[in-house]
Structure 1
Amino acid sequence: MHILNGDSAANSFRQAFHLQRGEVLICRDILSCGFLDTFVDLEPWRSQRLGHWDEMCKQHGFQPPEWQDPALRDLYQCMYELEHAETINIWVGRALSDQLLLTFIVYLFKFYNWDTSKLSVYQYHQAEKITVLGLGLLNPEEIIRLKPQPFSLGAKEIDFCIEAWNAITQPIPEQLMALLAKESTCLPNLKRALRNYLYRYPSIDNGLSYIDSVILRHTQSHAPNTARIIGYTLAHDMNPQNTENIHELDTVGDLYLFSRLKKMAHNSLNNPLLTAAPMGRSLRETRVEITEFGKSVLNGKHNVVTCNGINDAVGGVQLIAGPGEKTWYRDGERLIFGEGRI
């Protein structure tokens, strides 16, 4: 049995290795986006996670995901087959979304007391100046040519995956900070990808997450064309020459970015950072401009959380605070609970 992240990856993978439908399971749930509650059973988990994506599609003019596409078998629908499969191969790139899939599968095996010795990991790295963030970015020929050697998960790797999953689903981020502070060579791709979670938190300086700051900067340069803004944001950190850049590992799709953009333009905010019109239409129909307040936040003159409050989620942490109230902020590469600097 093979497990991959996303339709594009699964389709290319099946073409590459000429696999039958029953040999591949696909995870359509981008685990790096949206609230991650504690896993207690499949059905409430599946309902909450897929409901999150269905609602986002409905709100932002996207076609709802085809959770029951007959060409590809969904992980959530077929998950219990994993218990009886002879081998399970997890194919992942370096992106946060792929690394979280790895931790989730390991967590499920431990949660249901399945045999983890059946798990093998195919971890794509960087080759031929290609940073393999996910298999969906490779064509079938590249998937074969760059195919890595598989490795088994020993006790240390299993424990690290469980620790990572527990850390990101906690209601406060202290376990995540402790995990990232540890000196460890275990699963370096996972640990490096997890650092991106810190940048989903609002900056203590201006209250913006890293992704929101990139959206704002590209709005300033490419308004009012929303498709162009989203396109530039998607491509913002794709620089394989910059080996120190962790932000390229935080790959998210256009739906998530469009939802972040519209959230910054919502009329419920005391001070919107953007204007979006018409508000209820699709990405290509929406015209966006940055407001004077948005410019002042980018210039470091205001803190958006101090002015507007926050209602967001990063993994299992729900960031809910009114204007001027304390919340979790990112200060460099540490998280602190307090007030914004401005």
Structure 2
Amino acid sequence: MSSPILHITNGDSTTNYLKKLHFSGDFITWREMLCEGKTTPDVGSETFWKNRFDFFKSSYKVSKQNFIDFTLKEYRNLCNKKESKEIVLWFEYDLFCQINMLAVISWLKTYRKGYHISLVCSGKIKGSKKLKGLGELTENQIHQHFKKRIDLTQDDIEYADYIWQLYCSDSPLRLETVYKFNPMSPFQYLTSALEAHLLRFPSIDNGLNQVENTILKTANSNSFSSKNQLIVKLLKNQEKYGFGDIQYQHSINQLQKLFTSFNPVKLSRKGKKVLENQMNFYSEIRTENSYLGGAKKYSFLFNNQTEKLLQITS
């Protein structure tokens, strides 16, 4: 009798959708957002989870109990599921999902060597200009994606692990040059996700990254009666990030000094000057403990003219 397939999904909504469609097998939901906060390459180790909890506690006020209940218990369930020789990964095209996907593959490389691993990745859909998440697919489209899932070779697994190691290193400079040079990679959305990642380092022009500049631009060019309306617009218009409302809420809080009001939403004079690159906000927003992967966010600057990262040497 063959063992059941193990599905590792990108979130609870995907898990629930697949169960509703009566997909057979066991399910594990990967409840993390490794695109934010400090990461270390040793996925699942004590150091790894300590870093993750410290980040959630300081940035999102997550309690230890919630972190255990929501993330760690599900991770322990994954550790206990060893009987499934076929593992199917369900992830989407955006940065949020792609970074989580790399981490999961890195973990599988270490702890599930020799298992049959395949990938379902949503994004481009025939007849649609917009990239679509798994939850936006019809029942037929989900089944087609599953039928055409990509079997990952050992080389593919090694490649994903290598990119994960670079993401977790203390410098993004090698990542900047390396990710473009694997045209045969089955991870068709990884390049654009990593490009979006590199744009999260502060711009040399005004000290804000692409996400923060987009927040100011959106606030300035629309009339919002509340912060919530601004967040709804940001969620609707984001293309490659895949962020949730709490991530935008957190980013807006960091930019509070550039707003005079959130009811209605109004930029301050300073906010407008920063948006127009007439003032640099770097020194005011900079913090020592802000990480993107393994790199300190404010140790690098993005040069918009050359589209290259520069390392700040003290």
Q: How does 1:87-166 map to 2 (within 5 A)?
A: 87-112=86-111, 114-127=112-125, 128-129=127-128, 131-138=130-137, 140=139, 142-144=141-143, 147=146, 149-166=148-165
CA contact (8 A) 1:230 1:254 kept: yes
Q: Is the 8 A contact 2:87 2:115 kept in 1?
A: no
1:200 partner SS: coil
Shift in Å, 1:90: 0.4
* RMSD of equivalent CA atoms: 3.0
2:281 to 297, 304, 312: 304
1:178-257 maps to which residues of 2 (within 5 A)?
178-182=177-181, 184-186=183-185, 187-220=187-220, 221-237=222-238, 248-257=239-248
Could you say which residue in structure 2 is the equivalent of 1:323?
Answer: none
Deviation per CA, 1:274-312: give whole Å up to 9, x if none.
2467xxxxxxxx765322111101011012115554443
For residues 144 and 65 of structure 1, the distance between their equivalents in structure 2, rounded to whole angstroms, comes to 34
Q: Deviations over 1:209-251 (max 9, x none)?
A: 11111111222223451001111111124xxxxxxxxxx1211
The answer (yes or no) to whether the contact 2:163–2:179 under 8 Å persists in 1 is no
Structure 2: any 5+ residue segments left out of the alignment?
A: 1-5
Query: 3-state SS of the aligned residue for 1:89?
Result: strand
Distance 1:43 1:296 in 2: 44
Distance 1:183 1:110, change over 3 A: closer
Residue 38 of structure 2 aligns to a residue whose secondary structure is coil
Alignment check: 8 A CA contact 1:93 1:135 kept: yes
8 Å contact 2:180–2:191 — kept in the other structure? no
- Distance (Å, rounded) in 2 between the aligned partners of 1:162 and 1:93: 18
Given residue 189 of structure 1, which amino acid in structure 2 is its aligned partner?
Y
Once residues 68 and 15 of structure 2 are traced to their aligned partners in structure 1, the CA distance between those partners, rounded to angstroms, is 14
TM-score, normalised via structure 1 length: 0.77
Report the equivalent of 2:32.
29
Among candidates 48, 55, 63, match of residue 52 of structure 1: 55
Aligned to 1:243: none
The share of aligned pairs that are identical, in percent, is 21
Change (3 A) 1:319 1:192: closer
- Take 2:268 and 2:150, find their aligned partners in 1: how far apart are those partners? 51
Partners of 2:10 and 2:97 within 8 A in 1? yes
Report what 1:269 is aligned to.
Answer: none
The one-letter code of the counterpart of 1:329 is L
Letter in 1 for 2:34: L
Unpaired stretches in structure 1, ≥5 consecutive residues: 238-247, 266-271, 278-285, 321-326
1:219 alignment partner AA = A
Aligned partners of 2:135, 2:52: CA distance in 1, in Å? 21
TM-score (norm. length: structure 2): 0.83
Count of matched residue positions in the alignment of Structure 1 and Structure 2: 301
State the Cα distance separating 1:79 from its structure 2 match.
2.4
Relative to structure 1, the CA distance from residue 120 to residue 304 in structure 2 (aligned partners, 3 Å threshold; closer, same or farther) is: same
Specify the code of the residue in structure 2 equivalent to 1:80: C
Q: CA deviation at 1:78?
A: 1.4
Q: CA deviation at 1:144?
A: 3.2
Q: What is the CA–CA distance in structure 2 between the aligned matches of 1:34 and 1:139, rounded to whole Å?
A: 34
Other-structure match for 1:7: 12
- For the structure 1 residues 25 and 51, does the alpha-carbon distance in structure 2 shift closer, same or farther, using more than 3 Å as the test? farther
The amino acid across from 1:30 in the alignment is M
What is the distance in 2 between the residues matched to 1:58 and 1:85? 36
Q: For 2:291, give the aligned amino acid.
A: A
Cα offset for 1:159?
A: 2.0
AA aligned to 2:155 is: K
Distance 1:50 1:276 in 2: 32
Closer, same or farther in 2 for the Cα pair 1:108/1:79, shift >3 Å? same
In structure 1, distance between residues paired with 2:241 and 2:31: 16
Find the aligned partners of 2:146 and 2:130 in 1 and give their Cα distance: 13
